Structure 1
Amino acid sequence: MDSAELEASSHGGASREQAPLSPRTALSQDATKKGRVVYVGHDKFGTRVPLDELRKLYLNELPGRVTDHERRTITYDGSLKKYPPVRLLRNCDRKRILVTGGAGFVGSHLVDRLMIMGNEVVVLDNFFTGRKNNIEHWLGHPNFELVRHDVVDPFMIEVDEIYHLACPASPPHYQYNPIKTVKTSVMGTINMLGLAKRTKAKFLLTSTSEIYGDPKEHPQKETYWGHVNPIGPRACYDEGKRVAETLTFAYAKQEKLDVRVARIFNTFGPRMNENDGRVVSNFIIQALRGEDLTVYGEGDQTRSFQYIHDLVDGLIQLMHSKAHEPVNLGNPDEYTIMEFAEIIRDTVNKEVRIVNLPSTTDDPQRRRPDITRAKTFLDWSPKFSVMQGIEETVEYFSKLANDL
């Protein structure tokens, strides 16, 4: 059973002070401010961690509070007390893990979780879209290493697991240099697969729902082949990821590599780049500035939005699973873009207007994952509601705006 879903109420076995809550219950009740312990992660995979510990890394929340997690984990010695507490693992249990793109939005949250679990983590990033301040709280920690490197070039290291995230994922970034985007997806994946072959490391590729293109099947199952324009403005990213999947499974078949592929649907949360052109960050920044919320087309396109902590849970559970086929990771709750704009307006600034602009080329009309495979093989499903994620993301961008 997922630890995030353990509801030890006053009728159950846990005490009132330490009763764990699910994020879906806890955030709506503001439980963290009432002394209730809220967990994310999964006991089975050793990823269970108090939500407070993660929030402090990007919201600097609850200063001076000593959590139960801090009391039960180590900080090594007095010189390391500035670092977040991590688990103490035996050498035989500690893994050395490479995360490409580890200074980016998704990568940095994954790094946080892997570090707190007690692993040794090596981050590879060229900082095209990644930011050093996303992972600066780990700099100098004996379990952490940061290497400025472009995955298009080979890299040699000894590791047990590889999470291959490196690739710009938002349209303004991947369209800025489409040739480099394709090279990152293709050559970068070849280099990381070659490293996995040499070290016999488990390999996880983060693919994307964009491989389905503008889908004719709804919701999208992993067996759907997609409907992609190979020469459209999004093709450098869509087709690059499709080739990366092809390479991954070719290496698995020919070289007997132990591989996983996650097809990630729209994800949002703290540490998103405010200029990445995505719906969530665009709307929140516009609302905070008192600007019109810009919707392209009529706003009847649909998307499914998942919160970052749910995605990180899914990635780690996929790495630890026996699922050797692609797995969708996304929230099946579906919203039109207009509905989402109205939610952001009502949450952030009710005075702003929503205006319509001409539609963009090749913009998918409907996008929603079928997560049956994730539920079956990973015991995974989203635990955060969209509204809970929006509240934390708005708080993050508000703090960011105040710091600028």
Structure 2
Amino acid sequence: MKYVDEFRDPAAARRCAEAIARIATRPWTIMEICGGQTHAIVRHGIDRMLPDGIALLHGPGCPVCVTPAGIIDAAIAIASRSDVIFCSFGDMLRVPGDGGSLLAAKARGADVRMVYSPLDALAIARAHPACEVVFFAIGFETTAPATAMAVLQAEREGLRNFSLLVSHVLVPPAIEALLGAPDNGVQGFLAAGHVCTVMGYREYEPIARRYGIPIVVTGFEPLDLLQGLYLCIRQLEEGRAEVENQYSRSVQRDGNRTAQEVLTRVFAVQPQRWRGLGEIPASGLGLAPAYAGYDALLRFADVAVPPERHDECISGEILRGVKKPADCPAFGTRCTPEHPLGATMVSSEGACAAYYRYRRPRAAALAATGRTP
């Protein structure tokens, strides 16, 4: 506990918040990219420690949340086949597509299993050679190396009944998409420390220069976030636009070269559809031609990924930082973690789930007055 307590010390947090107040002379709007950071901010009240005028927006950093409804519908179609065992992380089971959820498919008889890693799915494939075992490969650069290693392991073992439904996404192109949007109001970013542990932060440097916006690689504890905000606001006040690394205990500029080499070997960069953001060029990872035999969409060629439909859920606007959970009239009433209308209420990293868990009474009261927390 000593390590955790070191980064959650209340006195140190107050001192950091006071330092922010001393340097902030005008309003600034900063977006944290990671859903884990969003939960920490809401849980620990980081945003309430900041001076008036410093606004935090919650970005598209929840891997479950940005997985488009169409790919979930494709997952349900594959999982519903009698010869398939479909494996997924737990959060994905309850995320609604346009045609229901994987959990609903399981209730109808589909063999859908929760796993903790793609290696669990490999073990299931070994144990059930007569079945097709499909792993739902989602997430950012953080989880993609484990998926790539599972493919290489399947190749070494000659497992032919294992495939992937891939929906891996890349963070830097999403940042650029946000910055290029007409409703963009972001003036600085807190980048996700765990993504940068794998990829480093070289690729953020041209973004900071091109758009004139500071980007601070930040951890996930209260002091990490406050220090990241301090560094970002200091840059804004000084008119600088650079990449700084608050999370130096875990992140190096070049990242993990071994993990990057595995990604380059197994995957190829491609356009990717994001929930709420549409298709973003060069923002996804698909299996490279040498490993196309493990692509579930090719193996089950009769399954198509349908286009997105629009419904009352505003998760897309929340993921873009345009709105917050309390702006949704269904928040906490018709949309709850037990009966979600959208992904941001389901995921353990979703913004709506964070507000529901930690601020629901206040958010509901403010929503009735038209205000947001």
Alignment TM-score, normalising by the size of structure 1: 0.30
Higher helix proportion, which one? 2
**Greater RCO (Cα-Cα under 8 Å, separation 6 or more):** 2
